[in-house]
């Protein structure tokens, strides 16, 4: 059984992500690379780019967008739109895509599916399908961004795609696209029952319940012989089970606390040890090592010396930590994590160094019995 996945699918036109309802009223909503990076950071399982006007305008693949996105995201990337030949497949995969989706060209040249599958493997070939209802349990296939009705039966077409070697189907309902009223369940169930390859349901999702309803109503999740379909976030909303903004803000607060915690503890403990050294060797706070516990004098010296080191290093580290914490609000989640880990490593290294320096100072000032060395010379 294949794992269920959330796959944001970004429709691209003229280098911008767009959205509309039933392929109409399309408007720009943002930069494709920036949005892909954001969804990657929020936990998306895969990202899909569709250049929705490439076939209609007879343009090539958006390779520049693919290259930039591949540098910044670390989940599988699927790219569709403008794929006309094996060379287009090859160039798209070289640009950084993990899979290539073909829609219009697959209908016009079905042999391309088999040829691509033979050369690159079925796992690289996704067939995108835009379909519309024309009667009871009857759907027809459209191409060129839902502009041209091919009068091709949907069920016959998905069966042919599987036979030709397609690795998965991305099924988009023109009737439900962008409506946020739920998936086209009858069409989805009919396609899932007709093929054994994964099916990506697209078009209509507006809330989490739509995903659960699709699994339950189509019965795919309960049938082991049929792979569970892979779900994506609706084009219009690009939402789903991804973490909300408050979760990301909570993570920033978490990172800030852990960034400043060690320097703050060092600073406070150092100040207490330097200016208010513990009078008893069994005090709850203090510098305890074999050398420092020789006698009261070594104990006071070690605490005062180490406290001074901790005050200085803690203050410097706290300034660095505050600077990094401010930067967290402008960093990606991945960069935040890297900076946090870097800070912790630096802070632990400084802490260890202060301990070694204190031990060295004790050895310089006191002998093995704890008696202060005579450093004067005749």
Residues with a known catalytic role: 11, 130
What are 325's two structure tokens?
């914490």
What are 89's two structure tokens?
């497949």
What are 264's two structure tokens?
């703050």
Q: Looking at the DSSP assignment, which residues form a beta bridge with residue 49?
A: 10, 79
Q: What share of the chain is helix, strand, coil (3-state, %, to 5)?
A: 50, 20, 35
Phi-psi region of 199 (alpha: psi -120 to 50; beta: other; left: phi over 0): beta
Neighbours of 75 (CB within 10 A): 16
* Residue the block writes with tokens 């911008």: 16
Q: Of 39, 117, 31, whose CA–CA distance to 75 is shortest?
A: 39
What are 232's two structure tokens?
């994506």
Instruction: Judge whether 167 and 124 are in contact, CB under 8 Å.
Output: yes
- Collapsing DSSP to helix, strand or coil, 50 comes out as strand
- Collapsing DSSP to helix, strand or coil, 139 comes out as strand
Q: Of 165, 178, 98, 90, whose CA–CA distance to 130 is shortest?
A: 178
Return phi, psi of residue 71, to 5°. -75, -20
Distance CA 361, CA 367 (A): 11
Distance CA 91, CA 233 (A): 27
Residue 353 CA neighbour count, 13 Å, CB half: 11
């Amino acid at each position: 059984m294949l794992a269920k996945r959330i796959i944001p699918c970004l429709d691209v036109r003229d280098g911008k992500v767009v959205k509309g309802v039933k392929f109409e009223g399309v408007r720009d909503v943002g930069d494709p690379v920036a949005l892909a990076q954001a969804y990657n950071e929020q936990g998306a399982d895969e990202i899909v780019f569709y250049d929705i006007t490439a076939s209609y305008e007879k343009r090539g693949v958006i390779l520049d967008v693919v290259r930039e996105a591949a540098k910044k995201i670390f989940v599988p990337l699927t790219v569709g739109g403008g794929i006309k030949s094996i060379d287009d497949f090859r160039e798209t995969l070289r640009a950084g895509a993990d899979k290539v989706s073909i829609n219009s060209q697959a209908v016009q040249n079905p042999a391309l599916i088999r040829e691509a599958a033979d050369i690159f493997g079925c796992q690289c070939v996704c067939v995108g399908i835009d379909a519309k209802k024309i009667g009871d349990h009857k759907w027809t296939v459209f191409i060129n961004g839902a502009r041209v009705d091919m009068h091709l039966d949907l069920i016959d077409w998905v069966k042919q795609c599987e036979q030709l070697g397609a690795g998965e189907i991305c099924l988009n309902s023109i009737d439900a696209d962008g409506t946020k009223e739920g998936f086209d369940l009858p069409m989805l169930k009919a396609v899932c029952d007709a093929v054994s390859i994964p099916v990506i349901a697209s078009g209509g999702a507006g809330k989490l319940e739509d995903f659960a309803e699709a699994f339950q109503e189509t019965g795919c999740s309960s049938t082991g012989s049929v792979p569970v379909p892979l779900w994506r976030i609706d084009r219009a909303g690009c939402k789903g089970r991804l973490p909300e903004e408050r979760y990301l803000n909570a993570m920033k607060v978490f990172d800030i606390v852990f960034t400043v915690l060690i320097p703050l503890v060092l600073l406070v403990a150092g100040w207490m040890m330097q200016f208010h050294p513990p009078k008893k060797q069994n005090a709850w706070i203090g510098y305890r090592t074999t050398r420092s516990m020789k006698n009261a004098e070594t104990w006071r010296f070690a605490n005062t010396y180490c406290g001074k080191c901790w005050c200085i290093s803690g203050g410097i580290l706290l300034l660095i930590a505050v600077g990094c914490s401010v930067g967290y609000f402008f960093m990606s989640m991945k960069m935040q994590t890297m900076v946090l880990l870097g800070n912790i490593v630096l802070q632990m290294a400084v802490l260890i160094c202060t301990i070694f320096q204190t031990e060295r100072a004790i050895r310089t000032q006191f002998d093995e019995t704890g008696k202060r060395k005579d450093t004067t010379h005749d």
